[in-house]
């Protein structure tokens, strides 16, 4: 079977990891926010802003590493905004998130047009290059970073006092306050960190997967990450699995199109990752993992 | 409507031109219109304003707003709003409309154009056919719309002419704006043996470059950025179309017409990009053949077949 | 600094706060406008002109608000019962597909009095049917509906693309992925000659009033609210939580489907892949801005549409990049959220 | 304990002039309070008197509008729980502040290590937890998920949280409201040990016997003010009740009645749980008209399941549930309500009121589909408001406005609301599950009075309660549940006493059952 052969080639799995990298960043970021009890629908826009700002910094002469830091800082700033709106002010996390997505996206485009009023094709930078390693390891440094961050996040969440506090504040903020930890700061901090990871996911697309910033280039990846967090039952390890699985579906459909392309409309292939994700969700999800206090605002001194 | 013009009259001084694009001006297709209008503006012939990324839901309103403001010529692309656009033109008889459209001209003031660059696409196909060693050519597109299909089909015809054994891979990524995804699709085709890629979308050339394969450009020439990758490109030039329309607006003779011919090689609306860095790398024999075909096309002796059907993979 | 609930909301404040939100937002965006070199105050005057300065502008605002009212109601009704339907976008498209299937000549010879209701019912059913999947998955297997409805949006858009390149493709469309136009009898009549505003707006507002009545005055509305506010207590009191959820989902999906019918039969005339620039998602914003109140949805939709249409026109008049419109909408939205909060709470210390 | 602590003992906590306003309401009005080393101060007051508010200010959850708090001679910064914890103040909140999905150890260790430390010293933490648990008789497994624990065990975790941090001052806000008598007794023993270690304790409770047993001094709050202060040695129940309520509280008396026909009958009712476990095991029970049957049992032995069956939430897997002669096993909640069953749920916040609905809205939840509340699916809000006004006045619900959101009512008033909802229809059968949990003496007496009145009006009543005094005082007959089975305490075998019930609850008399 040709398609089985395909699944065992190294280049397929290289592609899977590459396609999965932005999803890993985004899913991890969203997971951290949600673990702290804050749904962040700003993810799509934060990824745009990360893609744009990181790329712009490099375009203006900063080294690639600095581009990453700029993207993270922009992500953290947007996270701060989302955090202020949803944590101390306790505004609807849905609207604030969608508002942030709209704001971050349109601001990125506006800035882009102000900085490049007359270009007729997207300016380019020199992006990260894949390392010259054999097999699966021919990836850019950012993919390694993504995997590192999964391990780091898992470690922090499950092995450190800070992680315990984050998990607890997503379960019962009153319990956190009763133990002398400031709920507002903790949640805002988690949202900022999570948002900066989302921005990294966006920056991967402009600094690593591609070399230019393009309108609409996030193309729904942020929303996928939201779904992946649920799929992962809010666990970092499973988030990695989910992102890789989704990427594998995607890489697979791109190759399947070549294999049996003519007979089947291409939309069927493009649907595959979404359909399979829903099926996977049905098979493995119970709502068990959902943080109890997710989407429930906590205002100190109110009941 | 205060600023609106009652009927088409000769324009004194600068022509006021407004353009409405449904995508950002970086998009290859729209960038050619934008470039031609900017050139006219730089020559001092026109005042040029534009709105980009206008959704089709808003398109009609934007047309009306520009018409009401007294613009002489409105340029754009109405593939998603054909009927509404013609109605707007009917409501503003004094404004000239020049719109990218699949359909014909309408009324007294609604002219159309389209990127009929299948001719150079055919020629790039001829080159691609000889440059492939694996006899597999990959093509990555956004959506299989006629504007895309037509060029891909011509390209395939051209390739088959120089290499009857060539096979094609085709993918559509379901988006106009996802270079990383286009790149992945191209990688997938390279994995399947493609060594020449038809770069309908941004991102494909990057995959070719990264893997040391070749690419064929479309609409714009990006060889400067990819000197070792882009062999040839089929270019579209909007200047002949725009200039013809501007001249008619200027002297008041603008009517409903089809400007398609101005996008052909004969009118310099389309061209094969110079081989540039690949000068000498493409076999001289084939260069000769391409030159000959090009001359035949210009002289009207050879007609590239127009086929709007969705291209299918042949491997 | 702390927030403290207000005992009563002075009416001056409930007027001043939204106005203040718009002013603050415009002031913030003023920096961006000035950066582009446009005179800020003139630009904002043009913005007002563009949103409501003429019959044309006003009808455009109302026309753009129409689908937002439908999707806003769809979200509001579902969210009230704590059913997180994020799939209005997909339901909108499927509603439009139903209208296209029924309204492009398959059924002929009906008067508009029959044809229009037929399309509406068909579209509503299609939207409702689409939401059944996630609803049943949630009720039977406990599968999170946020994810299923969200992912279905992507699937539906691809499915529509498939239809538009296949069975629904307009043979006269020169190969473009678009459907045949809705027959004349199925078109929603325009409300003013030469303007795009159509009957869909009246229907949307009418439905908002009906839903408001349902919500406040009917046993079903009561049950749905009870289920949303405390499912456990509702169940204890004898309200069938699943049944209520199921019916709420039907209505929500139906409303989103109607948005598709309204756009296709009222505004665009035929189904294309870009029928909706995210109306399904904006509907969520509209609903939450309205605090899930059906009449509030109308106001919120008008607000969002007015800001967008006005700012969009301003970008052209003032020569500011087009993207300013979305920036102003987003910042107004966030400011408005904060302002509404400050009508309910006061800041202390 | 109960030894008056000399005035010479060090003052560890000094509250001066604490005033706290919520909008127009003054919850605490210039309150002064001292706590000495090794002293147990019992804080008493009606529901809503301001006890929890005062403690929340002391601990830093709320910021007082006026007044100061001093701990160990140093002023305490307002609104800063971390500072209070650092000074050795531990608080056990009225509503548990635990995360159900995490383990006991997680809940206890949270916040005890620097947030920036790179690893959590869990084995040291576990050892310390085990040591404390052993020393104070608070047995609980560190790795257990809190959600799997019984209420009593959670209470222990809350206390361990404070002890783990070396609390010198312990505040317990109604720690025994949800405990069984046995659990309460063991808690009191633990507190004794703590005081012996030199801790000072503020103890809030509505159970006056408890207060008299463990308090050294009683401080009574009324409407936000200190209404009085007495050494326990000088206090007795009626006196404390009078100080709290401002008038004498009369305990309603049960009159002798001759019961009528069997109104409710359970025959062999069985409910299966996961893995075929019998959550209810062939329960037989008859209740006659005009009779109150009390049901006691350690929580987790099936009272809740039985209550769910009787309320129509669960259809039994076997056996019959009859009202008069009709089998209503499958009637469902709505069917039971229609047949005249009045139900008072165990957890009034979760299954009783719909907190964000107004009082009239919450009150019609059971019969909004019927006249007079609706016709043809349209609700008549005037009828609902009239009904609510009647309930509010008949059942003495204290509320600022009749259209307040139910959430804003105090627990006692919420309970009266639910009582009104259940009794207004003059039900044949009343299912009252923990009807006075957390209520002050006045409110509890009122609930008792209404239940007795329903009995006299001929209703059959099942009273499920963990308060054995209540059970004995109100019931004509008493039954006990143990591991899903139900046994009546046979009066022929001698008087039914708390001790006898306690033994039955521990399983005595259930051995040879099928
Ligand atoms: N967060 C709050 N917002 C508004 N009002 C509050 C708040 N907390 C308490 N109150 C008010 O403070 C008063 C006192 O409440 P508190 O909880 O202190 O009573 P309590 O004495 O603890 O009652 P109980 O015995 O029932 O626990 C209440 O009447 C209530 O109106
Ligand atoms: N958010 C709030 N705003 C205003 N008043 C409140 C609020 N929450 C509670 N209250 C008031 O607090 C008082 C007591 O509330 P509380 O919840 O302490 O009652 P409770 O009797 O202690 O409940 P329980 O018996 O379940 O412990 C009531 O008078 C109520 O009106
Ligand atoms: Mg209290
Ligand atoms: Mg209480």
**Which DSSP letter does residue B103 get?**
S
**A151-156 contact pairs (CB < 8 A, 24+):** A153/A28, A153/A31, A153/A32, A153/A236, A154/A235, A154/A236, A154/A237
Query: D288 is written with which tokens?
Result: 């006659």
Cα gap D48→D64, rounded to integer Å: 17
Cα gap C247→C240, rounded to integer Å: 11
Q: Other C-beta atoms within 10 Å of D395: how many?
A: 20
Looking at chain C, which residue has its C-alpha nearest residue B50? C316
Report phi then psi at D447, rounded to 5.
-60, -45
Cα gap D394→D262, rounded to integer Å: 29
Q: pTM value?
A: 0.89
- Report yes or no: C285 at the A interface, CB cutoff 8 Å: yes
Cα gap D451→D429, rounded to integer Å: 11
Residue from D420, D419, D350 nearest D388 by CA: D420
Q: What is the dihedral of CA C108, C112, C116, C119, to 10 degrees?
A: 0
Give the tens place of pLDDT for each residue, D370-381.
889 999 999 999
The helix (run of H) or strand (run of E) holding residue C59 is helix C55-80
**Which pLDDT band holds residue B89 (cuts at 50, 70, 90)?**
very high
Cα gap C82→C88, rounded to integer Å: 15
Query: B62 is written with which tokens?
Result: 């934007």
* Secondary structure, 3-state, D221-273: EECCEEEEEEEHHHCCHHHHHHHHHCCCCCCCCCCCCCCCCEEEEEEEEEEEC
- Determine the atom of ligand 1 nearest the C-alpha atom of D25: 31
Q: Would you identify the CATH topology of the domain D262-346+423-434+460-505?
A: Rossmann fold (3.40.50)
Q: Where are the domains of chain D?
A: 11-245, 262-346+423-434+460-505
- Determine the atom of ligand 2 nearest the C-alpha atom of D400: 31
Q: What is the pLDDT of residue D514?
A: 42
Per-residue burial over C98-130, b if 16 or more Cβ lie within 10 Å, else e, is bbbbbbbeebeebeeeebbebbbbbbbbbbbbb
Which value does ipTM take for this structure? 0.87
Cα gap C204→C185, rounded to integer Å: 20
Give the tens place of pLDDT for each residue, C276-303.
998 998 999 899 888 889 999 999 999 9
Averaged pLDDT score across all residues of chain D: 89
| Residues in chain A within 8 Å Cβ distance of D86 | 180
Q: Other C-beta atoms within 10 Å of D158: how many?
A: 24
Kindly tell me whether chain A and chain B come into contact, counting contact as 3+ Cβ pairs under 8 Å.
Answer: yes
User: Angle CA(B24)–CA(B25)–CA(B27) in degrees, nearest 5?
Assistant: 75
| D397 Cβ inside 6 Å of ligand 1 | no
Report phi then psi at B166, rounded to 5.
-70, 140
Residue from C343, C314, C317 nearest C327 by CA: C314
User: Is there a contact between C255 and C70 (Cβ–Cβ < 8 Å)?
Assistant: yes
Q: What is the pLDDT along chain A (303 residues), one digit of tens a residue?
A: 566 777 778 888 989 999 999 999 999 999 999 999 999 999 999 999 999 999 999 999 999 999 999 999 999 999 999 999 999 999 988 889 989 999 999 999 999 999 998 887 788 899 998 887 777 778 899 999 999 999 999 999 999 999 999 999 999 999 999 999 999 999 999 999 999 999 999 999 999 999 999 888 898 899 889 889 988 889 999 999 999 999 998 888 888 877 776 677 888 888 888 888 888 778 766 656 789 899 888 887 775
CB nearest D106 (choices: A164, A177, A178):
A164
Give the tens place of pLDDT for each residue, C2-60.
777 777 778 888 888 888 998 999 999 999 999 999 999 999 999 999 999 999 999 99
The helix (run of H) or strand (run of E) holding residue B122 is helix B118-131
Interface contact D350-C220, CB threshold 8 A:
no
Q: Measuring from atom 2 of ligand 2, which residue has the nearest CA?
A: D408
| Residues in chain C within 8 Å Cβ distance of D343 | 236
Give the tens place of pLDDT for each residue, D269-307.
999 987 778 899 999 999 999 999 999 988 778 898 999
Interface contact D23-C7, CB threshold 8 A:
yes
Interface contact A274-C166, CB threshold 8 A:
no
* Nearest CA-CA distance, residue C214 and chain B, Å: 32
Cα gap B9→D125, rounded to integer Å: 89
Chain A contact probe: residue of B28, B31, B36, B180 with most A CBs at under 10 A: B180
User: Is there a contact between C6 and C345 (Cβ–Cβ < 8 Å)?
Assistant: yes
- Classified as helix, coil or strand, A103 is helix
Give distance in angstroms: CA of D411 to centre of ligand 2: 6
- Classified as helix, coil or strand, C267 is helix
Q: Measuring from atom 7 of ligand 2, which residue has the nearest CA?
A: D408
Q: Is B299 left (phi over 0), alpha (psi -120 to 50) or beta?
A: alpha
CA B86 to chain centre: 22
Interface contact B184-A251, CB threshold 8 A:
yes
Query: C87 is written with which tokens?
Result: 């799939």
Q: Measuring from atom 17 of ligand 2, which residue has the nearest CA?
A: D410
Looking at chain C, which residue has its C-alpha nearest residue D310? C236
Cα gap D438→B38, rounded to integer Å: 78
| Residues in chain C within 8 Å Cβ distance of D361 | 222, 226
Cα gap D292→D254, rounded to integer Å: 10
- Report yes or no: D23 at the A interface, CB cutoff 8 Å: no
Residue from D244, D180, D214, D159 nearest D40 by CA: D214
* Nearest CA-CA distance, residue A188 and chain D, Å: 15
Query: A179 is written with which tokens?
Result: 């133990």
Per-residue burial over A180-198, b if 16 or more Cβ lie within 10 Å, else e, is bbbbbebbbbbbbbbbbbb
| Residues in chain A within 8 Å Cβ distance of D82 | 180-182
Instruction: Tell me which of D15, D20, D23, D27 to substitute to probe ligand 1's pocket, judged by most ligand atoms within 8 Å of the beta carbon.
Output: D27
- Classified as helix, coil or strand, C273 is coil
**Residue D7, pLDDT above cutoff 80:** no
Is CATH 1.10.3470 what the domain over A2-116+142-285 is classified as, yes or no? Answer: yes
The helix (run of H) or strand (run of E) holding residue D62 is none
Cα gap D263→D324, rounded to integer Å: 5
What average pLDDT score do residues B95-106 get? Answer: 92
Looking at chain A, which residue has its C-alpha nearest residue D161? A179
| D475 Cβ inside 6 Å of ligand 1 | no
Cα gap D311→D47, rounded to integer Å: 28
Residue ranges around ligand 2 (CB below 6 Å) = A 303; D 22, 47-48, 52, 94, 408-412, 438
Looking at chain B, which residue has its C-alpha nearest residue A208? B180
What DSSP line would sit under D349-383, residue for residue?
Answer: IIII--TTSBHHHHHTTTTTTSTTTEETTEE-HHH
- Topology alike, domains D11-245 and D262-346+423-434+460-505: yes
Q: What is the pLDDT of residue B44?
A: 94
CB nearest B26 (choices: A19, A120, A259):
A120
Residue from D478, D393, D399, D471 nearest D436 by CA: D471
Residue from D322, D357, D316 nearest D339 by CA: D322
**Residue D38, pLDDT above cutoff 80:** yes
CB nearest D98 (choices: A159, A175, A301):
A175
- Determine the atom of ligand 1 nearest the C-alpha atom of D55: 18
Q: Measuring from atom 18 of ligand 1, which residue has the nearest CA?
A: D50
User: Angle CA(B272)–CA(B277)–CA(B281) in degrees, nearest 5?
Assistant: 90
According to DSSP, the β-strands at D278-288 and D262-272 are antiparallel
Kindly identify the ligand whose nearest atom is closest to the C-alpha of D409: 2
Listed residues: CB within 5 A of ion ligand 4: D 411, 438
User: Is there a contact between C306 and C61 (Cβ–Cβ < 8 Å)?
Assistant: yes
Q: What is the pLDDT of residue A78?
A: 98
User: Is there a contact between A224 and A22 (Cβ–Cβ < 8 Å)?
Assistant: no
Give distance in angstroms: CA of D94 to centre of ligand 3: 6
Q: Where are the domains of chain A?
A: 2-116+142-285
What average pLDDT score do residues B10-26 get? Answer: 92
Q: Is D8 exposed, middle or buried (0-12, 13-18, 19+ CB in 10 A)?
A: exposed
Interface contact A102-C326, CB threshold 8 A:
yes
Beta bridge partners of B50: B19
Beta bridge partners of B97: B74, B110
**Which pLDDT band holds residue D2 (cuts at 50, 70, 90)?**
very low
User: Is there a contact between C64 and C127 (Cβ–Cβ < 8 Å)?
Assistant: no
Chain A contact probe: residue of C149, C311, C327, C338 with most A CBs at under 10 A: C327
User: Is there a contact between B256 and B138 (Cβ–Cβ < 8 Å)?
Assistant: no
* Nearest CA-CA distance, residue B84 and chain C, Å: 8
CA D400 to chain centre: 24
- Report yes or no: D58 at the A interface, CB cutoff 8 Å: no
CATH number for region D11-245: 3.40.50.300
Cα gap A200→C105, rounded to integer Å: 51
Lowest mean pLDDT of B248-257, C102-111, D38-47, D79-88, name the range.
Answer: C102-111
| Residues in chain D within 8 Å Cβ distance of C291 | none
Q: Residue window 178-197, chain B: list those with CB within 8 Å of chain A.
A: 178-181, 183-185, 187-189, 191-192
| Residues in chain C within 8 Å Cβ distance of A265 | 162, 165-166
Kindly identify the ligand whose nearest atom is closest to the C-alpha of A299: 1
Give distance in angstroms: CA of C225 to centre of ligand 3: 29
Only one residue has tokens 């790039």, namely B124
Query: D434 is written with which tokens?
Result: 């923990």
Query: D275 is written with which tokens?
Result: 């893995």
- Determine the atom of ligand 2 nearest the C-alpha atom of D398: 29
Averaged pLDDT score across all residues of chain C: 91
CB nearest C217 (choices: D364, D369, D378):
D378
Kindly identify the ligand whose nearest atom is closest to the C-alpha of D56: 1
* Nearest CA-CA distance, residue B309 and chain A, Å: 13
Only one residue has tokens 């200190």, namely D226
Give distance in angstroms: CA of D24 to centre of ligand 1: 13
């Amino acid at each position: 079977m040709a398609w089985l052969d395909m699944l065992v080639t190294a280049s397929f799995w290289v592609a899977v990891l590459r396609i999965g990298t932005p999803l890993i960043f985004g899913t991890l970021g969203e997971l951290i926010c949600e673990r702290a009890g804050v749904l962040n629908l700003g993810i799509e826009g934060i990824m745009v802003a990360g893609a744009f700002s990181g790329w712009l910094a490099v375009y203006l002469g900063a080294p690639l590493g600095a581009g990453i830091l700029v993207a993270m800082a922009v992500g953290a700033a947007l996270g701060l905004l989302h955090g202020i709106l949803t944590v101390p002010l306790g505004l609807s996390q849905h609207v604030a998130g969608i508002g942030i997505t709209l704001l971050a996206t349109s601001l990125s485009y506006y800035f882009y047009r102000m900085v490049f009023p007359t270009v007729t094709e997207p300016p380019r930078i020199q992006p990260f290059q894949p390392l010259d390693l054999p097999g699966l390891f021919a990836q850019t440094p950012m993919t390694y970073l993504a995997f590192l961050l999964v391990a780091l996040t898992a470690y922090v969440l499950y092995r450190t006092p800070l992680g315990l506090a984050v998990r607890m504040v997503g379960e019962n903020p009153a319990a956190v306050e009763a133990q002398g930890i400031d709920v507002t700061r903790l949640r805002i901090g988690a949202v900022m960190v999570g948002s900066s990871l989302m921005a990294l996911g966006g920056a991967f697309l402009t600094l690593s997967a591609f070399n230019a910033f393009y309108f609409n280039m996030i193309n729904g990846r942020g929303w996928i990450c939201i779904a992946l967090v649920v799929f992962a039952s809010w666990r970092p390890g499973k988030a990695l699995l989910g992102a890789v699985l989704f990427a594998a579906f995607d890489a697979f459909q791109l190759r399947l199109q070549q294999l049996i392309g003519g007979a089947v409309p291409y939309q069927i292939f493009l649907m595959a990752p979404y359909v399979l994700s829903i099926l996977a969700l049905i098979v493995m999800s119970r709502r068990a993992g959902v943080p109890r206090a997710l989407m429930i605002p906590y205002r100190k001194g109110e009941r | 409507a205060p600023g609106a013009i009652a009927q088409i009259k000769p324009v004194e001084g600068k022509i006021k031109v407004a353009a409405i694009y449904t995508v950002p001006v970086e998009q290859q297709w729209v960038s050619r219109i934008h470039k031609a209008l900017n050139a006219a503006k730089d020559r001092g012939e026109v005042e040029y304003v534009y709105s980009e990324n206008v959704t089709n839901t808003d398109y009609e309103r934007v047309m009306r707003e520009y018409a009401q403001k007294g613009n002489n010529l409105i340029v754009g692309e109405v593939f998603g709003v054909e009927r509404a656009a013609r109605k707007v033109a009917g409501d503003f008889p004094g404004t000239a409309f020049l719109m990218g459209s699949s359909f014909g001209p309408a009324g007294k003031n609604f002219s159309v154009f389209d990127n009929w660059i299948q001719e150079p696409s055919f020629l790039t196909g001829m080159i691609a056919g000889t440059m492939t060693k694996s006899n597999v050519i990959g093509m990555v597109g956004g959506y299989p719309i006629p504007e895309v299909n037509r060029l891909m089909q011509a390209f395939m015809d051209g390739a088959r002419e120089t290499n009857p054994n060539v096979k094609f891979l085709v993918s559509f990524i379901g988006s106009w704006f996802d270079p990383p995804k286009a790149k992945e699709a191209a990688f997938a085709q390279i994995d399947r043996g493609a060594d020449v890629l038809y770069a309908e979308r941004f991102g494909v050339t990057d995959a070719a470059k990264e893997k040391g394969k070749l690419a064929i450009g479309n609409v714009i020439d990006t060889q400067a950025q990819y000197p070792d990758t882009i062999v040839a490109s089929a270019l579209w030039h909007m200047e002949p179309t725009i200039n013809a329309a501007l001249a008619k607006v200027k002297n008041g003779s603008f009517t409903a017409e089809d400007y398609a011919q101005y996008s052909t090689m004969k009118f310099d609306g389309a061209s094969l990009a110079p081989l540039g860095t690949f000068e000498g790398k493409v076999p001289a024999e084939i260069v000769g053949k391409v030159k000959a075909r090009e001359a035949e096309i210009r002289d009207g002796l050879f007609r590239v077949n127009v086929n709007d059907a969705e291209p299918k993979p042949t491997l | 600094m702390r927030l403290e609930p207000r005992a009563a909301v002075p009416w001056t404040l409930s007027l001043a706060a939204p106005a203040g939100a718009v002013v603050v937002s415009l002031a913030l965006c003023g920096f961006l406008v000035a950066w582009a070199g446009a005179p800020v105050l003139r630009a904002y005057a043009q913005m007002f002109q563009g949103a409501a300065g003429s019959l044309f502008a006003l009808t455009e605002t109302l026309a753009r608000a129409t689908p937002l009212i439908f999707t806003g109601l769809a979200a509001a009704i579902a969210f009230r019962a704590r059913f997180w339907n994020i799939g209005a976008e997909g339901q909108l498209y499927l509603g439009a597909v139903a209208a296209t299937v029924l309204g492009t000549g398959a059924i002929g010879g009906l008067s508009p009095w029959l044809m229009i209701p037929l399309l509406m019912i068909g579209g509503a059913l299609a939207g409702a049917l689409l939401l059944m999947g996630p609803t049943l998955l949630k009720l039977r297997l406990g599968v999170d509906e946020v994810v299923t409805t969200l992912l279905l949006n992507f699937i539906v858009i691809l499915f529509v693309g498939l239809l538009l390149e296949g069975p629904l493709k307009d043979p006269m469309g020169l190969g473009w992925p678009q459907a045949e136009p809705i027959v004349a009898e199925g078109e929603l009549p325009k409300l003013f000659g030469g303007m795009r505003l159509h009957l869909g707006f009246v229907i949307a507002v009418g439905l908002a009033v009906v839903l408001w009545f349902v919500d406040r005055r009917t046993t079903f509305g009561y049950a749905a609210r009870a289920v949303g506010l405390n499912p456990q207590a509702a169940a204890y009191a004898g309200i069938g939580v699943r049944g209520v959820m199921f019916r709420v989902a039907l209505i929500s999906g139906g409303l989103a489907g109607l948005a598709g019918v309204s756009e296709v039969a009222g505004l665009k005339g035929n189904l294309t892949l870009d029928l909706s620039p995210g109306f399904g998602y904006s509907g969520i914003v509209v609903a939450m801005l309205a605090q899930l109140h059906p009449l509030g949805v109308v106001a919120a939709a008008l607000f969002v549409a007015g800001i967008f249409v006005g700012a969009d026109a301003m970008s052209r008049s003032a020569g500011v990049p087009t993207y300013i419109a979305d920036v102003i909408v987003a910042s107004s939205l966030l400011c408005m959220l904060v302002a509404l909060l400050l009508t309910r709470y006061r800041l202390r210390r | 304990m109960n030894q008056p602590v000399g005035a010479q003992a060090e003052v560890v906590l000094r509250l001066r002039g604490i005033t706290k306003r919520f909008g127009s309401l003054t919850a605490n009005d210039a309150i002064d309070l001292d706590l000495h080393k090794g002293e147990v101060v019992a804080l008493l007051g009606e529901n809503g008197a301001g006890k929890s508010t005062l403690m929340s200010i002391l601990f830093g959850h709320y910021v007082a509008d006026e007044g100061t708090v001093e701990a160990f001679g140093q002023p305490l910064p307002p609104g800063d729980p971390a500072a209070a914890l650092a000074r050795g103040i531990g608080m056990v909140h009225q509503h548990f502040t635990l995360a159900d999905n995490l383990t006991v150890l997680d809940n206890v260790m949270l916040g005890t290590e620097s947030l920036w430390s790179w690893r959590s010293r869990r084995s040291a933490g576990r050892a310390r937890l085990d040591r404390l648990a052993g020393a104070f008789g608070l047995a609980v497994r560190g790795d257990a998920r809190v959600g799997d624990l019984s209420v009593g065990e959670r209470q222990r975790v809350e206390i361990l949280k404070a002890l783990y941090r070396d609390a010198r001052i312990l505040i317990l806000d109604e720690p025994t409201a949800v405990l069984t008598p046995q659990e309460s007794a063991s808690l009191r023993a633990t507190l004794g040990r703590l005081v012996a270690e030199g801790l000072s304790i503020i103890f809030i409770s509505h159970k006056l016997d408890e207060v008299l047993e463990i308090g050294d001094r009683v401080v009574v709050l009324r409407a936000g003010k200190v209404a009085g202060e007495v050494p326990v040695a000088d206090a007795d129940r009626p006196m404390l009740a009078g100080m709290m309520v401002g008038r004498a509280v009369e305990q309603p008396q049960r009159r002798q009645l001759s019961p009528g026909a069997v109104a409710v009958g359970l025959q062999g009712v069985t409910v299966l749980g996961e893995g075929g476990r019998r959550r209810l095991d062939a329960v037989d029970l008859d209740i006659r008209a005009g009779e109150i049957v009390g049901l006691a049992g350690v929580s987790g032995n099936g009272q809740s399941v039985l209550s769910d069956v009787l309320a129509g939430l669960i259809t039994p897997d076997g056996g019959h549930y009859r009202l008069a002669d009709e089998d209503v096993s499958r009637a469902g909640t709505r069917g039971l309500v229609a047949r005249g069953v009045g139900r008072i749920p165990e957890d009034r916040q979760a299954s009783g009121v719909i907190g964000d609905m107004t009082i009239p809205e919450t009150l019609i939840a059971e019969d909004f589909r019927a006249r007079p509340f609706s016709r043809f699916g349209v609700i008549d809000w005037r009828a609902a408001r009239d009904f609510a006004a009647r309930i509010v006045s008949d059942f003495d619900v204290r509320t600022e406005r009749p259209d307040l959101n139910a959430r804003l009512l105090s627990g006692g008033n919420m309970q009266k609301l639910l009582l009104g909802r259940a009794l207004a229809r003059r039900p044949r059968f009343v299912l009252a599950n923990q009807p006075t949990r957390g209520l002050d003496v006045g409110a509890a007496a009122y609930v008792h009075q209404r239940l007795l009145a329903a009995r006299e009006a001929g209703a059959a009543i099942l009273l499920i309660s963990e308060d054995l005094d209540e059970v004995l005082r109100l019931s004509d007959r008493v039954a006990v549940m143990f591991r899903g089975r139900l046994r009546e305490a046979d009066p022929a075998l001698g008087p039914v006493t708390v001790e006898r019930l306690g033994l039955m609850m521990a399983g005595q008399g259930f051995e040879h059952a099928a």
